[in-house]
Amino acid sequence: MARKSLVGVVADELLDRIIAGEFPPGTVVPGELELSARHEVSRMTVREAMKTLEAQRILSVERGRGTFVNPLNQWASLEAVLRAASEGTKDAAAAIQLIELRRMLETGACELAAERISDDELVTLKEHVEKMQSSHEVNDLAGFVEADLAFHDVILHASGNVFVAVLFEPLHRVLEARRAETSAFPEIQEHAIGHHRKIAAALESRNPNEARLAMDAHMQQTLDDLKTYVLEA
10-residue averages of pLDDT along the chain (233 residues): 73 94 95 94 95 97 93 90 72 81 95 98 98 97 95 96 87 79 91 98 98 98 92 71
Strand-strand pairing, 66-69 and 59-62:
antiparallel
pLDDT number for residue 230: 86
Residue 2: the pLDDT is: 41
Predicted confidence at residue 174, as pLDDT, reads: 78
Query: Cα–Cα distances in Å, from 210 out to 54, 107, 198?
Result: 46, 10, 9
3-state SS class at 93? helix
